[in-house]
Amino acid sequence: MQKAAVRDKWMNGNNGVNSQVEAMDDGPGPVSRSERVSLRRPLGHRGLETLAAHYVRQRFKPHSHPEYLIGVITGGVHSVWCRGERHTALPGTVMSMRPGDVHHGNAAVEAGWMQRMFYVAEDTMREILGDRLDASTAPLPDFERCDRHDPLLAVRLKRIHDRIHASRLMLSRDAAWADFADVVAVLAGGAPGDDSPGALPDTRARAMVDYLHAHVGEDVSLDTLSSLAGLRRRQTIDLFKRETGLPPHAYHIGLKVRLVQDRLRKGHAPAAAAMEAGFADQSHMARHFSAIVGLTPAAYAQADRVRTFVL
């Protein structure tokens, strides 16, 4: 697809309806090289983050999240790799990724892309879907694919995001969760949790994953993992990547970044968080953090105090 051919239609979403997100208006406008990111935690620190972003130069490295990612592309064109395929996400595309889904991506046009995203922890997802079923909890959803071009559903999800991300009224935010649960059910193909469970993971891979989770701040060697798996080094890497979607070092880096996110949310200094996570220094941590999270550590730490960041 030629960049010039899509530039004129790179934004066809609705304008932001709240003052907090109007700086990232989804209506037509001049091409900008600046990047803007707005991150909020509507439930405090309890299992939810919402993001409104305009990325231009950002290139996400292969990574995964422990949370569900539900979102919508509201402008531009996003080139994203997920589940072994490259996808071109146009405005009107709804994104849905499961915890552990490996993905990476970048802009497909000069103007970049705009997205609205929910990051929902598994316990919070169970609670949200449980309310929909009039129960205290519910099975976790599964998604057949990671992208779905559905302009009507995209508009619906964007409106929900506007309310949860930017509304100053708690009741408005809380009521939007009922609509959000319905969208998740649609993405999961009906009532979530009805699908039969997949194959159990390889126990050797499980042992390696558990070890990395237990030693996030350490410098773990491949020999250690090979010993746990009872395999040669090459076989160890192949097995780990087959089961998780990432090689061991990339998976471990992702865990380190998650630890830094947790510490920053609790008010720790970036340098201290970097040291605890086992990065060589703060600069080393910041490079990996930005490539996975899409914000600098300093911007992430200020998410509840500053509405929009220009990167």
- CATH code for position 44: 2.60.120.10
pLDDT score for 190: 65
Answer yes or no: do 31 and 121 share one domain: yes
Please, which residues bridge with residue 119 across strands?
49, 69
Q: Is residue 28 part of a domain?
A: yes
Which one, of 26, 28, 23, lies nearest residue 38 by Cα?
23
Q: Specify the length of the chain in residues.
A: 311
Q: What is the pLDDT of residues 148-189, one digit of tens each?
A: 999 999 999 999 999 888 877 776 777 788 789 999 999 998
Q: What is the CATH number of the domain that holds 266?
A: 1.10.10.60
Domain endpoint, select from 153, 187, 221: 187
> Which H/E stretch holds residue 55?
strand 48-55
Within this chain, do residues 113 and 210 fall inside the same structural domain, yes or no?
no
Q: Which domain holds residue 70?
A: 10-187
Same domain, 82 and 157: yes
Q: Give the HSE-up count for residue 250: Cα atoms under 13 Å, Cβ half-sphere.
A: 19
Q: Which pair of tokens denotes residue 185?
A: 């059910």
Shared-domain flag, residues 122 and 213: no
What is the pLDDT at residue 132? 81
The answer to whether residue 29 sits within a structural domain is yes
**Domain check: are 133 and 235 in the same one?**
no
The answer to whether residue 148 sits within a structural domain is: yes
Q: What is the pLDDT of residue 167?
A: 77
Rounded Cα distance, 166 and 39, in Å = 10
Tell me: do 67 and 42 sit in the same domain: yes
Q: Which of 32-46, 67-81, 173-187, 236-250 has the lowest mean pLDDT?
A: 32-46
Q: Which stretch of DSSP H or E encloses residue 76?
A: strand 68-76
Residues 164 and 212 in one domain: no
The 3-state DSSP class for residue 86 equals strand
Q: How far apart are CA 196 and CA 178, in angstroms?
A: 26
Return the closest-CA partner of residue 119 out of 192, 175, 191, 63: 63
**Which of 249, 222, 265 has its CA nearest to residue 46?**
265
What is the rounded distance in angstroms from the CA atom of residue 269 to the CA atom of residue 260? 10
| Structural domain count of the chain | 2
Mean pLDDT confidence for 219-239: 90
For residue 44, the model assigns a pLDDT of: 62
Average pLDDT, the chain: 83
268 in any annotated domain: yes
221 domain-assigned: yes
Q: What is the pLDDT of residue 305?
A: 60
Give yes or no: residues 136 and 15 share one domain: yes
State the pLDDT at residue 176: 84
In the sheet where 85-89 sits, what is the strand order?
A: 60-63, 103-107, 78-82, 85-89
Is 308 domain-assigned? no
- AA letter at 195: D
At 4-35, the pLDDT tens digits run: 333 333 333 333 333 334 445 554 444 456 88
pLDDT at 89 over 50: yes
- Provide the b/e sequence for 136-148 (b: ≥16 CB within 10 Å): eebbbbbbeebbb
Is residue 286 included in any domain, yes or no? yes
Q: Are 175 and 34 found together in one domain?
A: yes
Residue 211 has pLDDT above 90, yes or no: yes
For residue 300, being part of any structural domain is answered with no
222 CA to centre of own chain: 28
In which band, very low, low, confident or very high, does the pLDDT at 45 lie, cut at 50, 70 and 90? Answer: low
Q: Specify the 3-state DSSP secondary structure of 184.
A: helix
Q: Domain check: are 100 and 209 in the same one?
A: no
Q: Do 37 and 175 lie in a common domain?
A: yes
Q: Domain check: are 149 and 46 in the same one?
A: yes
